[in-house]
């Protein structure tokens, strides 16, 4: 069976549309029309750079290593691969196939698959916008640190002094913590203290949005040119860091500490939940960006192979980043432990003449003491020593600051300050973070712009203006994150504004394809595209395993959010330390509104479809009535409006 192109590229489409409307007995929505000549990728390499660039982001560098370390090391890796195979890749394949078949953004895709759930696409756009707002702030932070990296010594290597006195807040914490909380963010003690705006961050945020706007100026034609650098450069940096890190003392201990398998962790529900959540967010499911990028592919592109390739590149990148992170953190921990042992040995040498030290430990020896020897001795005799002496534990040092911004802007930054040529490594690291964030931002913005342009003719004709306008709005709203308490808003948006809405979006996606439209019919459509039929296993994965996994994840996440008051980590200037504080009532109201606003299009779309059906009872709007891939052999009664339009266009031509 010969496949017809979808959508039609004939110039006579407008004439045909009126004939289609007469046959279907309804007026087409004014905006729902495919462009006469949709853009496409110049090569498969460009497409891979875009998909990999979007899915590989900051979470691969600072989220995955932390989860792996926290949840059993090698055991977590095995669990992650298992969930990737049975949940992540099938859902990723579903989105790739849907976008490629219909050649529309998320709004158009879900409207054609299931008119009753047309609001799914709009919800994806809203979530993408929320994510873009705070994600670009992280790029602004990276730009600030990148600009400060061209100094020697680095401004966060030493505590500043007021006269001859070291600043107390810095002395009580560390130079890197002080620079992050006081110089970069100038943060308040809580989210309630709104405070003034941070001028440096406003300038950096403006620069970040300007870069994104210039990169997206001509759609994928311009963004892909930037992706040649932004998607490849991070791998060059990671390999450089890995080679340098493996040569550092303590790197071996750091890597062993991370990857040592603790299989007993598999018995904890929390580990399964965090592994599933990481698979979900690592692939970028639900954003609509996967669908948008895939929609620019030719119909016969092997999206099944793409799903496996991109997913495993993403996983291997996470493993590579984890090797780098824990090699460097192992070195950092070794430096801290050696300093701790040296300090304690100095104290012990003063206590030794007083008989407070057991005679079996030769503390009078001036040669360096191995941390392992000191730790063993301390565990045996430490209870009888003064309280100011501590066990210099390597594992304890490895646990400090290994998550999120604490890893990138504090722990990793401090580790690099001990390297020879620290400004070079610092500039390289933050340039890598900037590029990782940019490639993800391009995908996020495409998840907004492509569906809207496909849905509305006016926006499609003015896509450049839409891009500029979106970036301006993003910058203006993003100013709330440049307040002195702005980093707390970033945490709030990151933890709650996208999590629940995205899971709900994917639940509806999976349900609409596998149950409303029909998994068998969807596999038929894929067979028409690819020329071969994927294994029937996908049918059962979509209908049962994936759907139940996402519903379970949604249920647990919702219950935990309700029964346990959400908290955030705040910096206390007086104690120079972090503390967990509950969100105030007004912040919880904002959280509820964000989630409600993101999900509102789904019920609105359902109600709208129901009302349309009542107005036109003869119209069958149930999903599964039409095939999303039309062929010459499709009966007229089973052809959708778009299929009819293509058929007429081909007959006229």
Residue 645 in contact with residue 16, Cβ under 8 Å? yes
Task: Establish whether 650 is an annotated binding residue.
Answer: no
Task: Establish whether 250 is an annotated binding residue.
Answer: no
Count Cβ atoms within 10 A of the Cβ of residue 33 and give its class: 0-12 exposed, 13-18 middle, 19 or more buried.
buried
Residue 223 tokens, joined: 């963004």
CB atoms within 10 A of CB 93: 23
Rounded Cα distance between 354 and 371, Å, is: 24
CA dist 133 → 26, 139, 192, 433, 597 (Å): 39, 11, 20, 17, 15
Task: Establish whether 362 is an annotated binding residue.
Answer: no
Residue 424 in contact with residue 342, Cβ under 8 Å? no
Partner residues linked to 582 by β-bridges: 567
Rounded Cα distance between 204 and 208, Å, is: 6
Helix (H, G, I), strand (E, B) or coil at 296: coil
Residue 30 in contact with residue 457, Cβ under 8 Å? yes
Contacts of range 181-187, beta carbons closer than 8 Å, 24 or more positions apart: 181/571, 183/155, 183/156, 184/141, 184/144, 184/145, 184/409, 185/484, 185/486, 185/487, 186/484, 187/484, 187/485, 187/487, 187/488, 187/571
Task: Establish whether 630 is an annotated binding residue.
Answer: no
Residue 134 in contact with residue 479, Cβ under 8 Å? no
Task: Establish whether 487 is an annotated binding residue.
Answer: no
CA angle in degrees (0–180, nearest 5) for 202-204-206: 70
Name residues whose C-beta falls within 8 Å of residue 374's C-beta, 6 or more positions apart in sequence.
341, 344, 345, 392
Transcribe 193-212 into DSSP letters: ----B-HHHHHHHHHHHHHH
Rounded Cα distance between 351 and 365, Å, is: 14
Residue ranges of the binding site: 53, 56, 60, 314, 436
Residue ranges of the binding site for Na(+): 53, 56, 60, 314, 436
């Amino acid at each position: 069976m010969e496949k017809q192109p979808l959508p039609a590229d004939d110039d006579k489409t407008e004439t045909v549309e009126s004939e289609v409307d007469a046959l279907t007995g309804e007026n087409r929505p004014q905006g729902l029309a495919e462009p006469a000549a949709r853009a496409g990728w110049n090569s498969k390499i460009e497409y891979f750079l875009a998909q990999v660039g979007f899915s590989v982001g900051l979470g691969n560098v600072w989220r995955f290593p932390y989860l792996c370390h926290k949840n059993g090391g090698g055991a977590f890796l095995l669990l992650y691969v298992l969930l990737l195979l049975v949940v992540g890749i099938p859902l990723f394949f579903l989105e790739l196939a849907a976008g490629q078949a219909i050649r529309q953004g998320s709004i158009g895709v879900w409207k054609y698959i299931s008119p009753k759930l047309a609001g799914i696409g709009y919800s994806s756009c809203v979530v993408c916008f929320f994510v873009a707002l705070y994600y670009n702030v992280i790029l602004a932070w990276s730009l600030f640190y990148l600009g400060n990296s061209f100094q020697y010594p680095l401004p966060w290597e030493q505590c500043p002094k007021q006269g001859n006195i070291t600043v107390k807040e810095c002395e009580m914490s560390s130079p890197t913590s002080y620079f992050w909380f006081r110089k970069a963010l100038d943060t308040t003690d809580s989210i309630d203290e709104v405070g003034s705006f941070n001028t440096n961050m406003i300038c950096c945020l403006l620069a970040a949005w300007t870069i994104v706007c210039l990169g997206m100026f001509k759609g994928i034609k311009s963004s892909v040119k930037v992706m040649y650098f932004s998607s490849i450069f991070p791998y060059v940096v990671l390999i450089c860091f890995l080679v340098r890190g493996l040569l550092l003392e303590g790197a071996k201990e750091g890597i062993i500490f991370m990857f040592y398998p603790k299989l007993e962790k598999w018995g904890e529900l929390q580990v399964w939940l965090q592994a599933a959540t990481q698979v979900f967010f690592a692939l970028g499911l639900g954003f609509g960006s996967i669908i948008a990028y895939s929609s620019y592919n030719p119909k016969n592109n092997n999206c099944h192979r793409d799903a496996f390739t991109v997913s495993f590149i993403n996983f291997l990148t996470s493993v590579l980043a984890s090797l780098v992170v824990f090699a460097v953190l192992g070195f950092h921990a070794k430096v801290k432990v050696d300093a701790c042992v040296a300090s304690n040995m100095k104290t012990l040498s003063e206590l030794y003449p007083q008989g407070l030290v057991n005679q079996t430990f030769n503390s009078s020896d001036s040669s360096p003491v191995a941390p392992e020897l000191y730790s063993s001795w301390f565990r045996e005799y430490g209870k009888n020593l003064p309280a100011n002496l501590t066990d210099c534990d390597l594992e304890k040092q490895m646990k400090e600051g290994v998550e999120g911004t604490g890893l990138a802007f504090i722990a990793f930054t401090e580790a690099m300050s001990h390297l020879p040529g620290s400004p070079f490594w610092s500039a390289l690291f933050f340039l890598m973070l900037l590029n990782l964030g940019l490639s993800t931002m391009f995908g996020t913005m495409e998840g907004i712009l492509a569906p809207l342009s496909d849905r509305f003719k006016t926006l499609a004709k003015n896509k450049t203006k839409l891009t500029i306008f979106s970036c301006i709005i993003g910058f203006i709203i993003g100013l709330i994150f440049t307040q002195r308490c702005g980093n707390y808003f970033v945490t709030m948006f990151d933890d709650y504004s996208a999590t629940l809405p995205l899971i709900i979006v994917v639940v509806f996606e999976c349900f609409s394809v596998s149950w409303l439209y029909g998994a068998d019919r969807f596999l038929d459509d894929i067979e028409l595209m690819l020329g071969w039929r994927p294994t029937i296993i996908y049918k059962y994965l979509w209908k049962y395993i994936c759907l139940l996994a996402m519903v379970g994840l949604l249920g647990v996440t919702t219950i935990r959010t309700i029964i346990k008051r959400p908290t955030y980590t705040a910096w206390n200037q007086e104690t120079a330390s972090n503390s967990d504080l509950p969100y105030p009532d007004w912040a919880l109201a904002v959280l509820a509104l964000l989630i409600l606003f993101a999900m509102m299009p789904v019920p609105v779309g359902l109600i709208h479809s129901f009302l349309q059906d009542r107005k036109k009872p003869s119209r069958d709007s149930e999903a599964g009535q039409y095939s999303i891939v039309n062929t010459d052999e499709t009966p007229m009664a089973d052809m959708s409006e778009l299929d009819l339009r293509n058929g007429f266009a081909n007959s006229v031509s």
